[in-house]
């Protein structure tokens, strides 16, 4: 589903120029309003970026309504959406958007409920947070038939490799934590 195993999580629009010039093709856009997002998404897509918009964080829209999601699909036009809300995932799928269901794994109960929710909504991928739990990532990959993205609290290359070795399809991180491929290795850019 994703074009590479490292995903830029763009949390600060002031860093969008760096993001647009990076070699990475997938961007999780985690900020903006219903007024500025059409232009932001367009700019990223013009640089051949695949943009997934975290709809729970958009100011001015209710993505759990069909009207809100229709605005997102028709006006903002991201390639896909990220949400913790099953209703938003369901509406996005009906409108032809790719979907990433974000889940927070705080304990066993939350994990079991998240698995149940994902099996019902059938998103295109699941983002598990925090992403530095190899055992849990491995368990999710065995229980869910969707690609798993590890995100949140990952700070170094060793943690990235652990998540990928545990079965994560990709790792997302804020843009201050983007990796560049150099000489066959991946290095952290600060």
Domains defined along the chain, listed by start: 6-180 (3.20.20.70)
pLDDT in tens, the chain (190 residues): 887 888 999 999 998 998 898 888 999 999 999 999 999 999 999 999 999 999 999 999 999 999 999 999 999 999 999 999 999 999 999 999 999 999 999 999 999 999 999 999 999 999 999 988 999 999 999 999 999 999 988 888 888 899 999 999 999 987 444 444 332 344 444 3
Report the sign of the C-alpha dihedral through residues 114, 51, 26, 176, in that order. Answer: negative
Per-residue pLDDT at 156? 82
- Whether 151 and 10 have beta carbons less than 8 Å apart is answered as no
- Residue 25, CA distances (Å) to 10, 21, 38 in order: 12, 10, 18
Residues sharing a CB contact under 8 Å with residue 8, sequence separation 6 or more, in sequence order: 19, 22, 24, 26, 27, 28, 172, 173, 175, 178
Q: Is the pTM of this model over 0.95?
A: no
Measure the N-to-C terminal CA separation of the chain; round to a whole number of Å.
Answer: 27
């Amino acid at each position: 589903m994703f074009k590479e195993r490292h995903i830029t999580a763009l949390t600060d629009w002031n860093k969008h120029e760096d993001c647009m010039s990076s070699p990475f093709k997938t961007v999780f856009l985690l900020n903006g309003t219903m007024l500025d997002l059409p232009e932001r998404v367009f700019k990223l897509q013009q640089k051949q970026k695949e943009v997934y918009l975290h709809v729970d964080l958009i100011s001015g829209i209710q993505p759990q309504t069909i009207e809100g999601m229709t605005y997102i699909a028709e006006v903002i036009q991201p390639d896909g959406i990220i949400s913790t809300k099953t209703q938003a995932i369901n509406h996005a799928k009906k409108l032809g958007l790719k979907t990433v269901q974000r889940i927070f794994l705080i304990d066993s109960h939350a994990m079991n409920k998240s698995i149940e929710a994902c099996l019902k909504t059938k998103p295109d991928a699941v983002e598990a947070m925090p992403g530095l739990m190899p055992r849990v990532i491995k368990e999710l990959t065995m229980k869910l038939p969707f690609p798993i993205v590890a995100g949140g609290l990952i700070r170094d290359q060793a943690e990235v490799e652990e998540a990928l070795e545990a079965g994560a399809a990709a790792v997302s991180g804020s843009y201050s934590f983007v990796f560049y491929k150099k000489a066959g290795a991946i290095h952290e850019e600060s």
